[in-house]
Amino acid sequence: MTRYRIKKVGDTQKYFEGFAMYPPTIGERFVLWYNKLGGGIVIDTSPVLKIEEDKIHTMYSIYEIEKV
């Protein structure tokens, strides 16, 4: 599992951070978990429409993303 930090573009919330079983994939929801065992969801986005180097575009939002 890879640890990611994502922040919704234009949102005042600091960020979401957690582990993903898979990297962002077009057509799939991007899910971050609290720990490597899959315990508790930190965030579950709408389906990913576009992936850029440091951003993912979902059906409803754009997130800045980085591996931690």
pLDDT digits (tens, 9 = 90+) for 20-68: 999 999 999 999 999 988 789 999 999 999 999 999 999 999 999 999 9
- Cα–Cα dist 18/38, whole Å: 10
Between residues 65 and 14, the one the model is more confident about? 65
Cβ pair 48, 26 in contact under 8 A: yes
Q: How high is the pLDDT of residue 42?
A: 94
Res. 7: pLDDT tops 90: yes
Q: What is the pTM of this model?
A: 0.88
- Kindly calculate the radius of gyration of the chain based on its CA atoms and give it in whole angstroms: 11
* pLDDT of the residue at 41: 93
